[in-house]
Amino acid sequence: MPASSGIWKWADLLGNAPPDQFRLTLGEGGTPLVKSRTIGPGIGLTNLYFKLESANPTGSYKDRFAASAVSHLLARKKTQCLATSSGNTGAALAAACAVAGIPCHLAIVEPAPDGKLSQMLAYGATLYRIRGFGIDPAITADTFARLRTLGHRAGWSLEVSAFAVSPDGMQGVETLAYELDAELESRIDHVFLPAGGGGLCLAVARGFEKCRASPAIHCVQPEGNDTIAGPLREGGDFGRRVDPCTTTISGLQVPNLLDAHAVIAAARASGGNGHLVSDAAIYGIQQRLAREEGIFSEPAGAVALAGALQAFAAAEIDRDAVVVCPVTGSGFKDAASVGAMVGGEGVPLVELAEFEAALL
């Protein structure tokens, strides 16, 4: 693809885009924006939109990060990619590294779903699933410390989807804001975003600083990983570690602080707030997205909508406000949650006559 494809369409807005010859793309970005036909109108929220980041090449918004990160890696003449992942970052980086011809080594959180691991392996990455990583804050902090040391070796680059570690990669995620600003002609009041380490919230907030629209940026977290949303809502300036992380929502199990402090500052400056939602509510919204909107989302991809609906029920957003909820990852990412959604009965094998009789 030409150097202007994918996120590089917005190269002029990126602070330090790599030279054209190093710009890698798999066609990330340009994802569909669809207006809610059922869930929003059903409660009187008339301008609710979904940004389908699940339509990215590896099935999540992390492809924006990976395209930028690996392009910068190539420009810096790095030959080995080291990263952490709960699933989506690993898949995106593994795919981008496959295109670049660079080995990809991934330290994986313990509760990562098997489906996400299989996707990473399919792209040829080398995986190390670390006991306690993503659950125990001390082990998680120690893992990051060791990764930083390993990633500073000659020829290596540590890529984590957080501004605190990989600002060049995270610039690619800012393009989500640029697209929304263009698609909605700068008429956006609220953007709700899921948060683990908070990188997505911070990227979108920083992206809108370069746009005409100035929406409120809201941080939504599962109750079992309240590192950012609670402090933001309570008026605090700093994130807090969670010990232990108890949420079962894959991708948002980040008990340590990465971009937390910066997210709180950016969200508050935009007029946004923090929102905590239960795992049960998230799984319920995942099912509603599928059955009422035809949107196949992983649990983490339903978190933004769970927060928006909770905020609307509490009269924190107006009925006519333009509200955007990105669906950050595909349902194919988490087979276990889909299995729970549809039940364990499976599909019966029937005779043709039984099929006909059932429809008469």
What does the pLDDT read at residue 95?
98
pLDDT at 5 exceeding the cut of 90:
no
What does the pLDDT read at residue 249?
94
What domain range includes position 280?
Answer: 6-59+169-334
The least confident of 40-49, 68-77, 208-217, 236-245 is 236-245
For residue 288, what are the contacts with CB-CB under 8 A and spacing of at least 6? 39
Report the relative pairing of strands 190-194 and 322-327 from DSSP bridges.
parallel
Do 200 and 315 belong together in one domain? yes
- Dump pLDDT digits (tens) for 80-132: 999 998 889 999 999 999 999 999 999 998 988 888 899 999 999 999 999 99
pLDDT at 186 exceeding the cut of 60:
yes
Give the chain's domain count. Answer: 2
Reduce the DSSP state of residue 169 to 3 states and report it: helix
What does the pLDDT read at residue 205?
98
What does the pLDDT read at residue 288?
98
pLDDT at 2 exceeding the cut of 70:
no
Do 208 and 87 belong together in one domain? no
Do 161 and 259 belong together in one domain? no
What does the pLDDT read at residue 346?
78
What does the pLDDT read at residue 259?
97
Closest CA relative to residue 88, chosen from 250, 202, 306 = 250
What number is the average pLDDT over the span 45-62?
Answer: 98
Query: Which amino acid would we find at residue 267?
Result: A
The least confident of 69-73, 75-79, 86-90 is 86-90
pLDDT at 178 exceeding the cut of 50:
yes
* Residue pair 143/84 in contact by the 8 Å Cβ criterion: yes
- Ordered DSSP codes for 56-122: STTSBTHHHHHHHHHHHHHHTT--EEEEEESSHHHHHHHHHHHHHT--EEEEE-TT--HHHHHHHHH
- Dump pLDDT digits (tens) for 191-231: 999 999 999 999 999 999 999 999 999 999 999 999 999 99
341 found inside a domain: no
pLDDT at 4 exceeding the cut of 80:
no
Whole-model pTM? 0.95
Reduce the DSSP state of residue 266 to 3 states and report it: helix
350 found inside a domain: no
pLDDT at 1 exceeding the cut of 50:
no
What does the pLDDT read at residue 254?
87
Reduce the DSSP state of residue 339 to 3 states and report it: helix
Do 13 and 39 belong together in one domain? yes
- Dump pLDDT digits (tens) for 324-347: 999 999 999 988 899 898 887 678
What does the pLDDT read at residue 293?
98
Do 150 and 27 belong together in one domain? no
253 found inside a domain: yes
**CATH code for position 110:** 3.40.50.1100
Do 186 and 232 belong together in one domain? yes
pLDDT at 3 exceeding the cut of 60:
no
- Dump pLDDT digits (tens) for 267-311: 999 999 999 999 999 999 999 999 999 999 999 999 999 999 999
Do 44 and 112 belong together in one domain? no
Q: Average pLDDT, whole number, for the chain? A: 95
What does the pLDDT read at residue 255?
85
Do 235 and 317 belong together in one domain? yes
